[in-house]
Every structure is written in structure tokens, then in C-alpha cells.
Amino acid sequence: MSCKTLQSRGFTVELSSKKDVRLDHNLSIEEFNRAFRKYRNIMGKAYPQKKVELEQYEADINEISQNYGPCFYTYHKMFSAKAAAAIVEHNIVINWSKVDDKLLNLVTHNVQSRACAHCGEFDHTSKFCEKAKHGIPTLSQGATHIRNTDKRGRPVSNIAGAELCNNYNYGTCYRRECKFMHACSQCGSSGHGMKTCGLAKQQTKQPRSNNENAKLDKLSNLSKASQKEMTKANI
């Protein structure tokens, strides 16, 4: 059986000319994680400088999977093929820790993000979001749009001309050097994201009705009267 040998920067790979039918199988995210972690560990031992880069790639793939489902594997196959071609044809090593925005947009062009457009959560749709139910604005006052949504379909805002990081606002940003501003899109604070903002939680609470307020006032008055009676009795 003939093999094709590739060499780049001291790294040698032998490729079989026989087609492997397993390559036609689209992996689930669980299968991908198991396989890629084995690859990452092997590469990390041989090339320690690649460890952080591959860990970031794995985090990006899992985020794409969470947002767009099975599209993640199409992106992975196209990205890895592009990286291999860059080495073979131009002897250029691609940084795997950087998301290929053009490739991601191509893969997810007609796929709607699973994230809620109002809060970025994945456990409900935009239609059933509490923010939409109570008419709470998604963006903070004073924030203006540069573009409507990011590549994952989430609303984008900016403050003083700087675009806010949606990964930071909706959860955690794993990027070592993020080009976006890490500040809350609700209150503008740099100490937390929108997901943990006290102002956002306060706005999400449903206001009490007039009847409920009247009942609370009545109970409060009764409590005060009872305390007065107890004070007189002690005297």
C-alpha cells in the first residue's frame, strides 16, 4: 500500500492513499471531544508550545456546537483541511486558537443560533425569555449599535465606540487576547458581565400588583399595631 509523506519543521506525517470509510462519519460533540483530546495530549507532549493553542481551539469548537449544533464538525473539517493545505502548499503554520470568521460565517450562514437573542441563554427560546415578556431592553442605556448581531446571532452593543465582548457578557471569555471590551452591557461596569449584573436581575423581577402591595401594607400595619400592644403590656 503506497503512502504519501509530508514534512514540515521537523514534523513528519505519513498519509495512506487508501480511503478510510470512518472519515465519512460526522462526529457528535462528545465523540469529537474524546478524539481531539487524545490528539491534543499527544501534540502537547511533542510540541508543548501548541498546548494552549489547541485548548483554545477545542473551547471554540464547543462554543460553536452549543450555538449551531452539528455545524461545528463541518467547520472543523474545513478548518483542519485549510491548515493542512497551508503547510503543504505554502509552508505556513496556521494558528488554531484564532477562529476563522469567514469560514464560520460560510458554515453557519443559513443556521439560526440556539442562543436566546435577549439574554444569550440556551435553556429557552427568545419567545419565552423573561426579558421579552416584561419588555426589558437587552442593551444598556447609552449603548448604540455598530452591527445588529455577532457571528453567533447575539445582539451587539458598544460603549464610547468600543464593541463589548458578548462571550464575557453571556458567560466566560476564554480568549487570551480579546479584541473586544470586557464590560457589562447593562450597567457598563468592567467588574462583571450582563449575566451576573445586579441591575439586570433587578429589572428581570416582575413588579408586584396593586393588590399585592395593599396586602403587604395591611400586614405591615397589623405588625406595627401588634408591637405597640406588646409594648404597652410590658409597661
Per-residue pLDDT reduced to its tens digit, 210-230: 565 565 565 556 555 555 554
Report if residue 207 sits inside a domain.
Answer: no
Question: Nine-digit cell at 100?
Answer: 476563522
Note whether 83 and 156 are same-domain residues. Answer: no
Q: How many residues make up the chain in this entry?
A: 235
Domain encompassing residue 59: 24-108
Model confidence pLDDT, tens digit, residues 166-178? 888 887 776 667 7
SS3 content of the chain, % helix, strand, coil (to 5): 50, 10, 40
Q: Of 79, 108, 137, which one is at a domain's C-terminal end?
A: 108
Q: Indicate if the pLDDT at residue 11 is higher than 50.
A: yes
- Indicate whether 221 belongs to any domain: no
Mean pLDDT across 99-105: 87
Name the 3-class secondary structure at 188.
Answer: coil
**Share of residues in the chain with pLDDT > 70 (%):** 63
CA gap 185, 143 in Å, rounded: 8
CB 76 within 8 A of CB 61: yes
The number of domains in the chain is 2
pLDDT > 60? residue 143: no
Residue linked to cell 471569555:
173
26-65 residue pLDDT tens: 899 999 999 999 999 999 999 999 999 999 999 999 988 8
Q: How many CB atoms lie within 10 A of CB 166?
A: 24
Q: Does residue 231 lie in a domain region? A: no
**How many whole angstroms separate alpha carbon 170 and alpha carbon 64?**
14
pLDDT of residue 187: 84
Higher-confidence position of 53 and 21? 53
Same domain membership, residue 29 and residue 102: yes
Identify which has the larger pLDDT, 161 or 27: 27
Handedness of CA 215, 216, 219, 224 (dihedral sign): negative
Closest to 148 in 3D by CA, of 138, 134, 136: 138
Query: Does one domain contain both 151 and 101?
Result: no
pLDDT given for residue 43 in this prediction: 92
Q: Give the residue among 197, 175, 176 at the shortest CA–CA distance from 188.
A: 197
Grid cell listed for 165: 465582548
Please check whether residue 70 lies inside any domain of the structure: yes
Amino acid identity of residue 106, one-letter, is: L
Residue 170 lies in a domain: yes
Residue 123 lies in a domain: no
As a whole number of angstroms, the distance between CA 83 and CA 204 comes to 45
pLDDT value for 68: 84
What's residue 142's pLDDT? 39
pLDDT in tens, 109-140: 777 666 666 666 656 666 667 666 555 555 44
Tell me, yes or no, whether 232 lies in a domain: no
Model pLDDT, residue 141: 39
In a domain, 212, yes or no: no
Task: Determine the pLDDT at residue 37.
Answer: 94
Say whether pLDDT at 235 is over 50. no
Nearest to 99 by CA among 185, 179, 195: 179
What are 91's three cell numbers?
Answer: 509552508
In this prediction, residue 17 carries a pLDDT of 67
- Give me the pLDDT at residue 58, please: 93
Q: What residues contact 86, with CB distance under 8 A and at least 6 apart?
A: 92, 93, 94
